Amino acid sequence: MGKERGHGRGFGKVILLGEHSVVYGHPALAVGLDRGALAEATHLDDGPSQLSIGSWSTEADSESDLGLAFAALLRETATTRAVHVRAQTDLLASAGLGCSAALAVAITRALLSLRGIEATQADIAARALAWEKVFHGNPSGIDTNIATRGGCLLFERAHDGPRIEALPIRAPLHLAIGYTGQPASTRAMVEGLARLRARKPEMVEKSFEDLSSLVGNAKLALLAGDLVGLGQLLDLGQMLLSGLMLSTPEIERVCKLARDAGALGAKLTGGGGGGCVIALAESSPEPILDAWAQAGFSSFAAEIAPATRPIDAGREGKEWTLR
């Protein structure tokens, strides 16, 4: 049975380890953030369907990427009546925090809920991928899966569908997330690495295998609550990503400021080439946030709780309703 209004939510995320190699079938670890996206869908008397995100508006199939991505989600959810979807996000765009996937998942959920359709998390993530393909070309699917489920996921792309393991974190992770001030295009970074891989396949494959080992060890560190070990793995991950030409002087600077302020480890997160850095704090992330603020970098703290939060649980201190 259809409804008058459909609502949906998607989580933001950071990739702890395994970005880029995950595109080529290697495992990666990601955690969901409390920040994310919300969407509300209502029917229109006639078409075309409209999407508003904050102050941006577009019509389905308009010649913009946003219009094409919206049209893809209308097709994926078999939405045939005209709709108006209003969405909002508190994530920085083009910063490695999964803003686009969080919006895709929130909109997919809102469209399905408007039609009264219940879908599994795997199904929602798979449908939302159609939006990501417009923006990113060859997405691994890690972003839409973590945006759908939240929590802490070990993700591996495979031909017969992704392999996903929800990891029960032992100790809370206190993350500081710093913005380099440089927006970056995930598509451009993925394409740049594909060119490097074509020129130097052995070097890139070796790095991917090393990243895979780091992911395996990080899983063990998370399960054991070994934060010092996890921090060292993040630093090693940053070295490997830097060797793949995915870092920038600003990323290195933000990482160094964090380590000097006591971070257990720091690295870029997501596509790289700018965007955000994650730093693991032993307990309070405040000294890291202060060091970044003094150097002029904006940032925020994220605590990843041991228990995987169920999707509909809301969050303390903030109502998940559209403004």
Contact positions vs ligand PMV (CB under 6 A): 15, 19-20, 22-23, 96, 98, 136, 139-140, 142-143, 186, 190, 270-271
Token look-up 């130097």 returns: 200
Q: How far is the CB of 98 from ligand PMV (least distance, A)?
A: 5
Quote the longest CA-to-CA distance of the chain: 58
Min CB(204)–ligand PMV separation in Å: 14
Does residue 287 sit in helix, strand or coil? helix
Closest to ligand PMV by CB, 22 or 257: 22
Q: Which of 29, 16, 23, 20 has its CA nearest to residue 235?
A: 16
272 token code pair: 């790289």
Helical ranges in the chain per DSSP H = 65-76, 99-114, 121-136, 142-149, 186-199, 201-224, 227-243, 249-260, 286-294
CA dihedral 19, 23, 29, 32 (to 10 degrees): 80
Using omega within 30 degrees of 0 as the cis cutoff, is the peptide bond preceding 48 cis?
yes
CB of 105 to ligand PMV, least distance (A): 13
Q: Considering the complex, what minimum distance in angstroms separates the CB of residue 132 from ligand PMV? A: 7
Which residue's beta carbon is nearest to the bound ligand PMV?
270
Which CB, 237 or 271, lies closer to ligand PMV? 271
Nearest CB to ligand PMV, comparing residues 23 and 31: 23
Q: Between 234 and 261, name the residue whose CB sits nearer to ligand PMV.
A: 234
Task: Check residue 22 and report its DSSP letter.
Answer: G
**Amino acid sitting at position 190:** V
Query: Closest separation between CB of residue 21 and ligand PMV, Å?
Result: 8
**Least gap, CB of 268 to ligand PMV (angstroms):** 10
Number of other CB atoms surrounding residue 176 within 10 Å: 27
Between 145 and 232, CB nearer to ligand PMV: 145
Q: Based on CB atoms, which residue is closest to ligand PMV, 13 or 219?
A: 13
